[in-house]
């Protein structure tokens, strides 16, 4: 498999590694992960070496399990041998032991146990920058063949373009007061670190003639395109509506609206849910989460009701430990996005071991079909959602 990123992880952290892998691949990166890419009967050690030798970057899923893994240490040694950049990603608050502390003394950590959405975007941004830089050239240089005349003309044109862009940037630098330039650079740095559409739009609103306007517009368009690709691939009303909510005037807004209209018509045809009350009634849902990020796995059941297509489930006393609510609207095609909020009870069952009484929230993407439903949690840890009509 041709991939850019090798994901190194302890076998005990497979679910977390797969979640990170899926998140990166959803953002356009290609990953190699042993649990998926080593085939039956294939030599494990040979596959690992070949994969590390062929990728451009290693991502280390760092946990207490990885901290004590001899296999992880071997993979880090191989990364050094093949001159790979290693990006350590902590999914729980643990410091490296002596064997790894020396190796990562000068590396920048990225934590994924505080704010998943922000942290995963930050990780994707850093990986994108590292891959764009390319690996360092090691050893002697191969002889350079003469470029065809057409290539020379292309290089001259590229050189002239660079000079033009550089000249325009230099003119802007000389023409704008230094205080304003500093403010522009600070605002751009904040927007780039945040990496969200809102952040880039805020920069554009504040610096309409700033030095980073073109890049901000390109970043917004890239996020727009990525969101549309994900929504189109999902192919349901919830995903398409979510895209429209984020990009009401986006490049693909008209197509998203046409797709929603088509799905609504299809759902109203014979053989589909006749109206929004199709799923009304009492339901019992189960949310089951695996061990992840230092948190123990658990399974909980929540009695729920659907009325006029509106879903609501609740357990416990509002605002008290172990309280949880699940709310959302089921679309005509059975797709839904359910929002969960609650208050923690036992720290051992939460990623990051949050103290009792802490507020939390996340959302589930699911699909209802007659008397059953299935779905998955979208943030931080792998969880499955199931429901049966009573």
User: CATH 2.40.128: which residues of the chain?
Assistant: 281-389
So what's the pLDDT on residue 52? Answer: 93
Task: With a cut of 90, say whether residue 134 has pLDDT above it.
Answer: no
Task: With a cut of 80, say whether residue 145 has pLDDT above it.
Answer: no
Q: Average of pLDDT values for 50-58?
A: 92
* Cβ contacts of 126 within 8 Å, gap of 6 or more: 87, 108, 110
So what's the pLDDT on residue 304? Answer: 96
Task: With a cut of 90, say whether residue 139 has pLDDT above it.
Answer: no
In terms of pLDDT, which residue wins out, 260 or 265? 260
- In CATH, the architecture of 5-133 is 3-Layer(aba) Sandwich (3.40)
So what's the pLDDT on residue 311? Answer: 94
Q: Average of pLDDT values for 223-249?
A: 82
**Predicted confidence (pLDDT) per residue in 335-386, tens digit:** 888 999 999 999 999 887 889 998 888 889 899 988 999 999 877 788 999 9
So what's the pLDDT on residue 17? Answer: 92
Task: With a cut of 90, say whether residue 105 has pLDDT above it.
Answer: no
What is the model's pTM?
A: 0.38
So what's the pLDDT on residue 174? Answer: 42
What's 281-389's CATH class? mainly beta
Q: How far apart are CA 275 and CA 273, in angstroms?
A: 6
Q: How far apart are CA 21 and CA 289, in angstroms?
A: 18
Q: Residues 96, 104: contact at Cβ < 8 Å?
A: yes
Q: Could you give the percent of the chain with pLDDT greater than 70? A: 82
């Amino acid at each position: 498999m041709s991939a850019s990123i090798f994901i190194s992880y302890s076998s005990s952290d497979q679910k977390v590694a797969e979640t990170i892998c899926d998140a990166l691949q959803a953002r356009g990166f290609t990953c190699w992960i042993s649990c998926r890419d080593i085939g039956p009967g294939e030599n494990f050690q040979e596959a690992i070496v070949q994969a590390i030798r062929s990728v451009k970057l290693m991502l280390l899923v760092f946990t207490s399990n990885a901290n004590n893994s001899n296999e992880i240490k071997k993979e880090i040694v191989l990364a050094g041998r093949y001159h790979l950049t290693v990006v350590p990603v902590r999914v729980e608050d643990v410091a490296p032991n002596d064997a790894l502390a020396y190796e990562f003394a000068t590396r920048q950590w990225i934590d994924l146990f505080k704010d998943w959405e922000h942290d995963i975007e930050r990780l994707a941004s850093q990986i994108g920058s590292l891959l764009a830089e390319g690996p360092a050239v090691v050893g002697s240089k191969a002889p350079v063949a003469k470029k065809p005349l057409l290539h020379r003309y292309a290089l001259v044109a590229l050189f002239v373009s660079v000079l033009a862009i550089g000249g325009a940037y230099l003119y802007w630098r000389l023409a704008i007061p230094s205080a304003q330039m500093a403010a522009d650079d600070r605002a751009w740095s904040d927007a780039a670190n945040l990496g969200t559409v809102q952040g880039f739009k805020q920069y554009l609103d504040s610096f309409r003639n700033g030095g980073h306007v073109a890049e901000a517009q390109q970043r917004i368009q890239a996020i727009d395109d990525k969101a549309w690709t994900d929504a189109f691939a999902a192919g349901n009303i919830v995903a398409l509506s979510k895209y429209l909510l984020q990009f009401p005037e986006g490049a693909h807004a008209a197509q998203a609206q046409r797709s929603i209209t088509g799905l609504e018509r299809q759902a109203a045809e014979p053989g589909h849910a006749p109206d929004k009350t199709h799923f009304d009634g009492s339901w019992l849902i189960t949310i089951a989460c695996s061990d992840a990020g230092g948190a123990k796995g658990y399974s909980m059941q929540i009695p729920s009701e659907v009325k006029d297509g509106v879903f609501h489930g609740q357990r416990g006393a509002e605002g008290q430990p172990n309280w949880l609510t699940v709310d959302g609207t089921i679309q005509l095609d059975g797709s839904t996005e359910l929002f969960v909020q609650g208050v923690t009870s036992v720290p051992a069952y939460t990623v990051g071991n949050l103290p009792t009484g802490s507020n939390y929230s996340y959302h589930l993407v699911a699909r209802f079909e007659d008397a059953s439903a299935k779905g998955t949690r979208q943030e931080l840890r792998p969880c499955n959602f199931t429901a049966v009509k009573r």
